[in-house]
Amino acid sequence: MKTTVEINDALLLRARQVAAARQQTLKSILEAALRQYLDDNAPSQTPFKLRKHTFEGRGLQSAAQGDWPMVREQIYEGRGG
């Protein structure tokens, strides 16, 4: 794809000198530089992994097990429900 960009004269001169010294095209130098910049600034490819946390105990215990109206009362106590 063709595009037009404005590059500082001194920077362009250095890029042309590097290209000539390496016997490469200016295009290949610019593409390599842009590719490296994008790779260096890409977001991490490591997927998020939730660490496993366990706690000793017997789980949720309630004196009102099975008595849902009482459980509901406790949940909404003091909240106007």
Mean pLDDT calculated for residue range 21-43: 94
Between 54 and 3, the more confident residue is 3
Q: Which of 10, 51, 7 is closest to 30 using CA atoms? A: 7
Q: Express each pLDDT in 58-80 by its tens digit.
A: 776 666 567 788 878 888 888 87
Identify the pLDDT of residue 36: 96
